[in-house]
Amino acid sequence: MEKNEIVAILAHEMGHWKKKHILKMTVTSLLQTGFMFALLSLFIDNKGLFVAFSMDHVSVYAGLVFFGFLYSPISTLLSILTNSFSRKYEYEADAYAVASTGLGEELIMGLKKLCRANMANLTPHPLQVFLNYSHPPVVERIRAIRALR
């Protein structure tokens, strides 16, 4: 990358710090982990759950398997929520980088080079983005950066 592209990318990362995205996502992750362990404690030795699966005795191993099955949809819903915040934060960090450096085109070029190096999908299906992406597609980010002018 060129020097100004690196500066723009670093300004984007500083935007995450300045906008407290790192702190917010860390707290979110801690809350999500605490919620997961609280649910696990309810499932790990729940006699009613073992009866529902026709098991004669309570087993920690079976409790873990049951929890894995039952937590999976909850995890999917939580990841959709946290990914939506993460995508929002990416736009905010891009805006911070452009406002603080004035290097919008350089940020765009840096993003393009990162996408090429990582072989990113430039036009993912919107449902795939909604369900799984923590970052907006680069085409949308470029559009948003250019709209800042």
Q: Which of 80, 54, 72 is nearest to 134 (CA)?
A: 80
Q: Which of 74, 61, 70, 86 is nearest to 35 (CA)?
A: 74
Query: How far apart, in whole angstroms, are the C-alpha atoms of residue 96 and residue 98?
Result: 6
Active site residue 13: yes
pLDDT tens-place values along the chain, 149 residues long:
999 999 999 999 999 999 999 999 999 999 999 999 999 998 887 888 888 888 888 888 888 888 888 899 999 999 999 999 999 999 999 999 999 999 999 999 999 999 999 999 989 999 999 999 999 999 999 999 999 97
Q: Which candidate in 13, 92, 105, 140 is catalytic?
A: 13
What is the total count of domains within the chain? Answer: 1
* Predicted pLDDT of residue 49: 82
Q: Which of 15, 27, 7 is nearest to 92 (CA)?
A: 15
Q: Which candidate in 5, 94, 106, 140 is catalytic?
A: 94
* Predicted pLDDT of residue 53: 82
State if pTM tops 0.75: yes
Question: CA angle at residue 12 from 18 to 124, to 5 degrees?
Answer: 125
Pure H helices in the chain: 3-18, 21-43, 47-52, 60-101, 104-118, 126-132, 138-147
Is 8 in contact with 101 (CB distance < 8 Å)? Answer: yes
Structural domain including 46 reads 3-147
Active site residue 45: no
Q: 140: which residues sit within 8 A by CB, 6+ positions away?
A: none
* Predicted pLDDT of residue 54: 85
